[in-house]
Amino acid sequence: MDVRELVKEIAKELLAAAVQSAPRPKVLFLFCDSRAHEAFSDTFILLENQGIDCDLAFLDGETSAWIGMHKCESSGVKRSIAIDEYAPAPLELPQSYVGIVIPEIDLDNAARIATGMKGSVKSELVFAALLLGKPVWIGKDSGGIKRADRQTLKTLELTPGYAKLFRTHMDALEGLGIRLIDRSELAADLVRMFGSSSDAAHSPNAAVKENNPTPASVRRALITADWVAAHASALGGSLELDPKTIVSPLARDMLKQRGINLQYTSKG
């Protein structure tokens, strides 16, 4: 093959790999205030290592939320969502995420969500996510009192009557399809659903493949580091290539680090 043709083919492969690479799943975490996320630092690291991105929204007031530098507001149950010209409305946000996580829920928002009543950022987000078929996680070990209310009233527990009402609403949330989960188990559940190796791990033939590993066979003119990063979880322990396939040095190092052996098949 002429050198110019080879360069042309390599360029095509690189462009195709860039276009075909699947975007990382992104989850939205909704916190009561801008300090509540600090307890989840390890969770964010674990999710990032598993190929899951996270955005954070903070409710530092009763009805305001921040996404990056953009603010979204809810003006009340009888009025419409009010936003500035740059901010997405809470109702629109779930369209950009594969799932919504609310680590802590309070009695007011649990009641709104359970009864289908909108008017707060949390209830808007959950309503939209459920209608779009997006999974929603809520911490089932929530106490039912907003962080701001706890700090103002200096109390950590609801009265027995309110506590019973809160449990009723939590049962209703589960009936809507919301995943109630202990916050300590949240990261593991997200990884099982969206992790980089979740598709391979949960495929019907996963156990058969582990017991009877067979080399993955690929017909490509060029193997790049980006291609290895995107497909390593599905390759198993070896990779069959055509003798004419070019493997970049970085890709070869990545395959070696992952314990994937290269095998070249002859036409004969």
Q: Look up the CATH number of the domain holding residue 101.
A: 3.40.50.1950
One domain for residues 174 and 78: yes
Nearest Cα residue to 85 out of 97, 100, 69: 69
The interaxial angle of helices 107-114 and 121-131, nearest 10 deg, is: 30
One domain for residues 111 and 184: yes
One domain for residues 224 and 182: no
Phi, psi of 143 (to 5 degrees): -90, -15
pLDDT of res. 215:
56
One domain for residues 172 and 76: yes
One domain for residues 207 and 93: no
Per the listing, tokens 């049962």 go with 171
Q: What are 118's two structure tokens?
A: 């909108």
pLDDT of res. 99:
93
As a whole number of angstroms, the distance between CA 104 and CA 110 comes to 10
Predicted TM-score (pTM) of the model is: 0.62
One domain for residues 13 and 37: no
E strands, the chain, are: 26-31, 53-58, 64-67, 70-74, 81-83, 99-102, 136-139, 179-181, 216-217, 222-223, 238-241, 246-247, 261-264
HSE on the CB side for 205, CA within 13 Å? 6
Last residue of a domain, one of 194, 213, 240: 194
The boundaries of the domain holding residue 36 are 26-194
One domain for residues 31 and 155: yes
Tens digits of pLDDT across the chain (268 residues):
566 776 776 776 666 555 455 678 899 999 888 788 888 888 898 898 888 999 888 887 655 666 666 777 665 555 555 555 566 677 888 988 999 999 999 999 999 999 998 888 899 999 999 999 999 999 988 889 988 888 888 999 999 999 999 999 999 999 999 999 988 888 889 988 887 654 433 443 443 344 444 556 667 777 877 778 777 777 777 788 877 788 887 888 888 877 888 887 765 4
